[in-house]
Structure 1
Amino acid sequence: MSDVRVEQAGPESWPAWRDIRLRSLLADPEAYGSTHEREAAFDEATWRSRLDGTGGPAVLAFAGEEPVGLGAGWRDEPGRLMVVAMWTAPSWRGRGVGWQILDHLVGWARERSLLPHLWVADANPGARRLYERYGFRPDGETMPLREGSPLTATHLGLPAAP
């Protein structure tokens, strides 16, 4: 594993969350249903509300004081937690950061008897490998990555814990 710590993000973490989220959208625009242009327009209240914990957890991964990864989850339907916004800075990929973030999010879901699931961009095979190694499985659902995009995403679910 890496020399990274994963911490729950709260409303007070909004500047760090905003900065790395916007970095992720610039670095890997083909990986997300949202865009840098859309989220760069968010005000402080919007960023804070995304981290208030009411919809689910948000976590930041730090190397020292530098944010190097993020991920979140939100209760999108009864009994389920959708994993969203996963990203690891390119210089930290392959060092277990994404796994640590998933551990936190999946642990949060399991403590509440929620089934984690997610959509992964088909243009992001590295992320899909991570999710499948973690135990997520495709269920055959696909959709456009975002409205008007030729890119697609595949739905993956994590089976219930034994």
Structure 2
Amino acid sequence: MTAPHTIGEALLIPKTFQSQQSLDEIVERYKNLRLHGLQVDPKSFSSTYEVESQFSPAIWRSRLQNPAGQTFVSVADSDKQ
């Protein structure tokens, strides 16, 4: 996810990473993005900030690495990747 992308582009977050550090970085970015979304537009989600802000790091990792699911993000600002 470090390559340049265009604004509005949808990116699929991979299930595997080259290093634990890369995984931890993506998990933290995903967590921050989702928690922000839950605060800004809670009606767009089937969960709440109060519930998800209590998730452990292991839960956040499992959400991204769930073999039955896919996680997409959209690029909002090409300078902040």
TM-score by length of 2: 0.66
User: What's the Cα RMSD here?
Assistant: 2.1
* Of 23, 33, 43, the match for 2:46: 33
* Of 4, 25, 29, the match for 2:8: 4
Runs of 4+ in 1 over 4 A off after TM superposition: none
Instruction: Count matched residues.
Output: 66
2:37 is matched with which residue? 24
1:93 is matched with which residue? none
Distance 1:55 1:66, change over 3 A: farther
8 Å CA contact 1:10, 1:53 repeated in 2 = no
8 Å CA contact 1:8, 1:60 repeated in 2 = yes
What residue ranges of structure 2 are gaps of 5+ in the alignment?
A: 1-5, 16-22
**Same amino acid, percent of matched pairs:** 26
8 Å CA contact 1:4, 1:64 repeated in 2 = no
More helix by share: 2
One-letter code aligned to 1:64: S
C-alpha distance in 1 between matches for 2:59 and 2:14: 13
> Does 1 or 2 have the higher relative contact order (CA < 8 Å, sep 6+)?
2
What residue ranges of structure 1 are gaps of 5+ in the alignment?
A: 68-162
Which one has a bigger Cα radius of gyration? 1
One-letter code aligned to 1:61: S
C-alpha distance in 2 between matches for 1:65 and 1:57: 25
* Of 71, 74, 80, the match for 1:61: 74
More strand by share: 1
C-alpha distance in 2 between matches for 1:31 and 1:7: 19
C-alpha distance in 2 between matches for 1:31 and 1:5: 20
TM-score by length of 1: 0.36
C-alpha distance in 1 between matches for 2:12 and 2:56: 21
* Superposed displacement of residue 3, structure 1: 2.4
